[in-house]
Amino acid sequence: MNVVPKREILVHPAHGDIPARKLLDCVFALTKDGRIEHYHVEQMEVTHEAETVRFTLTDAQPAEGRKRCQIIPPFVTQFDVLP
């Protein structure tokens, strides 16, 4: 049985819906100009839909110690292209 992974999307106030990837507690998102943004799960509301996981940024601050986060972001090719 093949399980198709859900599409991951970050809902960003300045960029709109942009492709995202979650690694551990980090959420990386690819902006339309090719930059990779880095956030943490405690900064967002997570909604699981049928084919999509939607990460919506909130006003919450990252947890203590996140400034030292050194998770390496995925390659740009790992992000889904959104229509």
Q: How far apart are CA 54 and CA 48, in angstroms?
A: 6
E strands, 1-83, are 7-12, 16-23, 26-30, 36-40, 44-48, 52-57
Q: What is the pLDDT of residues 26-38, one digit of tens each?
A: 999 999 999 999 9
For residue 31, the 8-state DSSP code is: -
Is residue 1 domain-resident? no
Is residue 3 domain-resident? no
Q: What is the pLDDT of residues 48-75, one digit of tens each?
A: 998 999 999 999 999 998 888 888 888 8
Is residue 8 domain-resident? no
**Under DSSP, is residue 43 helix (H, G, I), strand (E, B) or coil?**
helix
Q: How is the beta sheet containing 52-57 ordered, strand by strand?
A: 36-40, 26-30, 16-23, 7-12, 52-57, 44-48
The total of structural domains in the chain comes to 1
pTM reported for the whole predicted model: 0.86
Tell me which residue range forms the domain holding 40.
Answer: 20-44+58-63
- Tell me the Cα Rg of the chain: 13
